[in-house]
């Protein structure tokens, strides 16, 4: 049947977005699922910012990237990286044009919300050894009780030794646990608390053990027994917790979700989903016009601060070294580079959740399976704190995506008075770099187990690759 004039006109003028699964070829379907398997493997290998840097570095070395310090001078096509204190990673593929003409950057973050140990964590109460914690990032605290937790991190000793600890990822490993009251006891008391106070921060205590050290003469026998075990296995004493970074993360593995297996459930997809997709994309960037940069930063979840966060001038150290090794480092050059540069802040967005539809503006929300979401501005309540991308830059992004058949939608984080949030976009914009947020929709963001679409993972990889290769 021939289309009516109105139908043709509507097709031409309306901004109608379809699910990426519609009309997908068998070959593309195979690629989407293969990519998702690779991504889930990456998630299972790297659950913390340090493991993201470590594992990503291994991938870079296998793909002919070199450490920047080992390279005397840089030429177009060269592939290098710099690791900042084992916690953030900056990668470059040198372009044909001078750095002065600007860089193309994609920045994601390897840290995710989690439960950190306090520096004086171990105590014993009623013959149970417990660990005090301080949560990291914005979490709904009640979600983290009664969940199997794995322990990842490092203990730095005064002799310079650094001990890596990972307990709870192997099938035969023990895991850790935060308790909650049974419903039989919480009626009238805990049940009447507000949801945000269901479990309070000082109730996020980790159960560490119950077996006593056999000696009638000593007190705190269970605590002593735990310290004995830690000392035998890792050579540490209680005081060594002072200089430790020990993080509890869900012990779950990444899994396919749903009868059709179209979704992914995993811990830390915010923002390891953008780490993996941007890393994979820069692996495939060859001889770009402008120098392509991929950043896996740290400390996004607590405000981009600290020496490994995106606000730190550690980033300048990397760019200046690139300039030096290209023979372009003249006074004021870095500002010139920035003013000609463009960046994607690669971070997730809150995907539309039909169960909680009243929290979203349905016309301005990203949907699972509809590709990457372009977020022109973040911020909250009146765009407060937003770096907002200029319309001209958004148009250029649209052109790149259209030319490369990248699916995208435009979104913001929930209803105006209800939602909002911030990303590292502002740290690029403050440096004079045109910046936009482009990421992947996630359901149950910041929960111990987050939900994404396999189509969107693949689409993000294609989006970042198209942008960097330009
Ligand atoms: Mn986040």
CB distance 52 to 275 below 8 Å: yes
Ligand 1 centre to CA of 112 (Å) is 7
Which CATH number covers residue 237? 2.30.250.10
Judged by phi (left if over 0) then psi (alpha if -120 to 50, else beta), residue 172 lies in alpha
Ligand 1 centre to CA of 169 (Å) is 23
Q: Is the pLDDT of residue 366 over 90?
A: yes
Are both 324 and 434 inside the same structural domain?
Answer: yes
Are both 157 and 244 inside the same structural domain?
Answer: yes
Ligand 1 centre to CA of 445 (Å) is 7
What residues have CB less than 8 Å from 50, skipping those under 6 apart?
86, 87, 152, 153, 154, 245
What's the average model confidence in pLDDT over 437-455?
Answer: 98
Q: Is the pLDDT of residue 6 over 90?
A: yes
Centre a 10 Å sphere on the Cβ of residue 176 and count the other Cβ atoms it contains. Answer: 19
Ligand 1 centre to CA of 283 (Å) is 25
Q: Is the pLDDT of residue 110 over 90?
A: yes
CB distance 265 to 253 below 8 Å: no
Which CATH number covers residue 300? 3.40.630.10
Are both 364 and 420 inside the same structural domain?
Answer: yes
What's the average model confidence in pLDDT over 151-164?
Answer: 97
Q: Residue written as tokens 């009238």?
A: 188
What's the average model confidence in pLDDT over 370-387?
Answer: 89
Ligand 1 centre to CA of 164 (Å) is 25
Ligand 1 centre to CA of 270 (Å) is 5
Ligand 1 centre to CA of 301 (Å) is 5
Are both 77 and 183 inside the same structural domain?
Answer: no
SS3 letters across 237-272: CHHHHHHEEEEEEECCCCEEECCCCCEEEECCHHHH
What residues have CB less than 8 Å from 213, skipping those under 6 apart?
221, 222, 224, 225, 228
What's the average model confidence in pLDDT over 127-146?
Answer: 98
What's the average model confidence in pLDDT over 84-95?
Answer: 98
Q: Residue 276: inside a domain, yes or no?
A: yes
Instruction: Give tens-digit pLDDT for 254-303.
Output: 999 999 999 999 999 999 999 999 999 999 999 999 999 999 999 999 99
Ligand 1 centre to CA of 454 (Å) is 19
What's the average model confidence in pLDDT over 57-78?
Answer: 98
Ligand 1 centre to CA of 375 (Å) is 14
Count of alpha carbons within 13 Å of 33, Cβ hemisphere only? Answer: 12
Ligand 1 centre to CA of 29 (Å) is 29
Ligand 1 centre to CA of 139 (Å) is 9
What's the average model confidence in pLDDT over 12-36?
Answer: 96
Q: Which of 131-135, 283-287, 381-385, 393-397 has the lowest mean pLDDT?
A: 381-385
Are both 203 and 305 inside the same structural domain?
Answer: no
Q: Is the pLDDT of residue 421 over 90?
A: no
What is the length of the chain? 470
Ligand 1 centre to CA of 118 (Å) is 22
- 3-state SS class at 384: strand
Ligand 1 centre to CA of 440 (Å) is 12
CB distance 138 to 330 below 8 Å: no
Which tokens hold the place of 239? 């005081």
Are both 293 and 428 inside the same structural domain?
Answer: yes
Q: Which of 264, 277, 270 is nearest to 406 (CA)?
A: 277
Instruction: Give tens-digit pLDDT for 342-357.
Output: 999 999 999 999 999 9
Ligand 1 centre to CA of 419 (Å) is 13
What's the average model confidence in pLDDT over 370-399?
Answer: 92
Are both 310 and 413 inside the same structural domain?
Answer: yes
**How many domains does the chain fold into?**
2
Ligand 1 centre to CA of 184 (Å) is 35
What's the average model confidence in pLDDT over 234-239?
Answer: 97
CB distance 454 to 262 below 8 Å: yes
Ligand 1 centre to CA of 271 (Å) is 7
Are both 218 and 317 inside the same structural domain?
Answer: no
Q: Is the pLDDT of residue 470 over 90?
A: no
What is the model's pLDDT at position 217?
A: 97
Are both 382 and 459 inside the same structural domain?
Answer: yes
At 324, phi and psi to the nearest 5? -60, -45
Ligand 1 centre to CA of 117 (Å) is 20
Ligand 1 centre to CA of 97 (Å) is 35
Ligand 1 centre to CA of 1 (Å) is 48
Are both 29 and 158 inside the same structural domain?
Answer: no
Last residue of a domain, one of 218, 250, 282: 250
DSSP 22-40: TT--HHHHHHHHHHHHHHH
Ligand 1 centre to CA of 302 (Å) is 9
Residue-range definition of the domain harbouring residue 150: 114-250
Are both 101 and 177 inside the same structural domain?
Answer: no
Can you give the pTM of this predicted structure? 0.96
In this predicted model, which residue has the larger pLDDT, 188 or 5? 5
What is the model's pLDDT at position 384?
A: 86
Q: Is the pLDDT of residue 420 over 90?
A: no
DSSP 452-464: EEHHHHHHHHHHH
What's the average model confidence in pLDDT over 35-60?
Answer: 98
Last residue of a domain, one of 204, 222, 250: 250
Ligand 1 centre to CA of 48 (Å) is 14
Are both 96 and 183 inside the same structural domain?
Answer: no
Ligand 1 centre to CA of 439 (Å) is 11
């Amino acid at each position: 049947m021939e289309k009516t004039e109105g139908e043709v006109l509507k097709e031409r003028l309306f901004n109608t977005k379809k699910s990426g699964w519609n009309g997908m070829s068998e070959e593309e379907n195979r690629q989407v699922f293969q990519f998702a398997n690779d991504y889930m493997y990456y998630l299972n290998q790297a659950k913390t910012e340090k493991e993201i840097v470590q594992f990503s570095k291994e991938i870079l070395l296998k793909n002919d990237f070199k450490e920047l310090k080992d390279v005397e001078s840089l030429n177009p096509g060269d592939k290098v990286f710099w690791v900042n204190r084992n916690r953030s990673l900056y990668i470059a593929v040198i372009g044909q044009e001078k750095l002065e003409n600007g860089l193309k950057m994609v920045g994601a973050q390897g840290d995710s919300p989690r439960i950190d140990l306090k520096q004086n964590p171990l105590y014993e109460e009623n013959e149970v050894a417990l660990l005090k914690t301080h949560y990291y990032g914005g979490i709904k605290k009640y979600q983290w009780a009664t969940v199997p937790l794995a322990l990842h991190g490092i203990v730095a000793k005064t002799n310079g030794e650094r001990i890596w600890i990972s307990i709870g990822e192997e099938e035969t490993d023990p895991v850790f646990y935060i308790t909650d009251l049974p419903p039989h006891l919480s009626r009238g008391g805990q049940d009447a608390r507000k949801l945000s106070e269901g479990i309070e921060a000082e109730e996020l205590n980790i159960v560490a053990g119950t077996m006593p050290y056999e000696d009638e003469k000593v007190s705190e026998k269970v605590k002593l027994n735990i310290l004995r075990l830690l000392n035998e296995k890792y050579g540490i004493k209680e005081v060594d917790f002072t200089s430790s970074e020990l993080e509890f993360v869900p012990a779950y593995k990444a899994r396919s979700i749903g009868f059709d297996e179209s979704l992914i459930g995993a811990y830390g997809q915010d923002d390891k989903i953008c780490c993996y997709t941007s890393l994979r994309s820069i692996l495939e960037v060859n001889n770009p016009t402008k120098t392509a940069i991929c950043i896996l930063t740290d400390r996004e979840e607590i405000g981009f601060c600290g020496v490994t966060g995106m606000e730190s001038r550690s980033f300048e150290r990397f760019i200046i070294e690139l300039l030096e090794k290209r023979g372009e480092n003249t006074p004021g050059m870095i500002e010139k580079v920035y003013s000609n540069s463009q960046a994607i802040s690669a971070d997730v967005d809150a995907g539309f959740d039909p169960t909680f539809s009243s929290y979203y503006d349905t016309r301005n929300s990203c949907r699972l399976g509809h590709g990457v979401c372009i977020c022109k501005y973040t911020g909250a309540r009146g765009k407060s704190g937003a770096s907002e991308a200029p319309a001209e830059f958004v148009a250029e992004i649209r052109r790149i995506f259209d030319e490369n058949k990248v699916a995208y939608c435009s979104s913001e984080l929930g209803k105006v008075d209800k939602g909002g949030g911030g990303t590292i976009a502002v740290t690029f914009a403050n440096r004079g770099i045109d910046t936009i947020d482009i990421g992947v929709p996630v359901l149950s963001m910041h929960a111990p187990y987050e939900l994404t679409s396999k189509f969107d993972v693949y689409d993000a990889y294609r989006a970042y690759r198209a942008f960097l290769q330009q």
